[in-house]
């Protein structure tokens, strides 16, 4: 007899990679801003990311039932308990560091994103509308990272650069996930960018956004608004650029692990690759 069944374990583990990636992105933001590493805040941010995404996957919705049918039968109460515990621990760390707003913004928006807002007989959902869900996700995590950076750095221009860069980065990665989820979103009537524009045009649009986001970083680097972290910048750009050029949704169904994991590798492990290369290259 096991403590958790397989679907419940998949639910509890479904946000682990994106949570770790969130903590590493905060570390990258600190490096760009010239802020010394603060590991408790990285862990706390990962816990808030975990709580937010696990909440989204715990609360049932039509498109998720189609896009993530591997979670069917999972113990949702167990998922909610994991959300609460992660959120409380992460919030405690941020509050002890004097950051009172940071943990609540993503969690509240995450709830509204999944559950929606009831206005009379109409439910307004952030998941609806072309590009709205992607903008909300980008604003949530780009804004949260920028707020944490600004609590440790007084340069408002640096904070603005960090916000714009991570807003666009998360917008792009969320759109890539929407490309994978086209069948479920179409069945649920969700008008995402890939559903409306099609896969090919969406990828071209994302490449333009990618170029623009890194032009912002280069401009900030030239004007000394951010630190000279050229390795992180170069690795992040080329990894995502090559991914957007060659990725196809059909890769998700291929038997080879490399193709099936390509999206997760490019999106979630980009920071690991960049930080590893940074550590290997002499200063």
| pLDDT digit string, tens, across residues 246-259 | 888 877 777 677 77
| Per-residue model confidence (pLDDT) at position 77 | 87
The tokens for 88 are 């409380």
Q: Which residue has the tokens 């707003």?
A: 101
| Per-residue model confidence (pLDDT) at position 208 | 96
Helix, strand, coil percentages, rounded to 5, for the chain: 75, 0, 20
Torsion over CA: 31, 36, 41, 43 (sign): positive
How distant is the alpha carbon of residue 206 from its chain centre?
15
Instruction: Kindly report whether the global pTM for this prediction surpasses the value 0.85.
Output: yes
Torsion over CA: 168, 169, 172, 178 (sign): negative
* Sites in the chain below the pLDDT cut of 50: 1-2
What's the Cα-to-Cα distance from 262 to each of 15, 169, 249, 251, rounded to whole Å?
A: 17, 17, 10, 8
Q: What is the DSSP string of 33-83?
A: HTPPP-HHHHHHHHHHHHHHHHHHHHS--HHHHHHTGGGTT--HHHHHHHH
Which structural domains are found in the chain, ordered by start?
6-280 (1.10.600)
| Per-residue model confidence (pLDDT) at position 2 | 46
Round the CA-based radius of gyration of the chain to a whole number and report it.
19
């Amino acid at each position: 007899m096991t403590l958790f069944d397989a679907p419940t374990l998949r639910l509890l583990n479904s946000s682990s990679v994106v949570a770790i990636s969130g903590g590493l992105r905060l570390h990258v933001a600190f490096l760009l801003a010239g802020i010394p590493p603060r590991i408790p805040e990285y862990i706390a941010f990962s816990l808030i990311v975990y709580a937010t995404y696990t909440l989204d996957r715990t609360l049932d919705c039509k498109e998720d039932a189609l896009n993530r049918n591997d979670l069917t039968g999972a113990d949702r109460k167990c998922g909610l308990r994991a959300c609460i515990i992660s959120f409380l621990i992460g919030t405690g760390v941020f509050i002890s560091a004097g950051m009172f707003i940071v943990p609540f913004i993503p969690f509240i928006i995450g709830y509204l994103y999944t559950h929606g807002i009831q206005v009379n007989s109409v439910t307004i959902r952030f998941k609806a509308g072309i590009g709205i869900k992607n903008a909300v996700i980008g604003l949530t995590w780009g804004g949260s990272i920028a707020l944490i950076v600004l609590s440790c750095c007084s340069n408002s221009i640096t904070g603005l650069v960090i916000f714009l860069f991570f807003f666009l980065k998360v917008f792009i990665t969320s759109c890539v996930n929407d490309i994978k989820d086209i069948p479920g979103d179409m069945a649920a009537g969700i008008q995402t960018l890939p559903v409306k524009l099609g896969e090919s045009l969406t990828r071209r649009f994302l490449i333009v956004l990618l170029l623009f986001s890194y032009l912002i970083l280069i401009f900030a680097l030239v004007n000394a608004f951010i630190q000279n972290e050229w390795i992180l910048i170069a690795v992040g750009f080329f990894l995502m650029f090559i991914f957007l050029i060659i990725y196809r949704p059909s890769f998700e169904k291929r038997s080879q692990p490399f193709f099936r994991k390509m999206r997760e590798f490019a999106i979630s492990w980009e920071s690991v690759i960049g930080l590893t290369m940074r550590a290997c290259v002499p200063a």
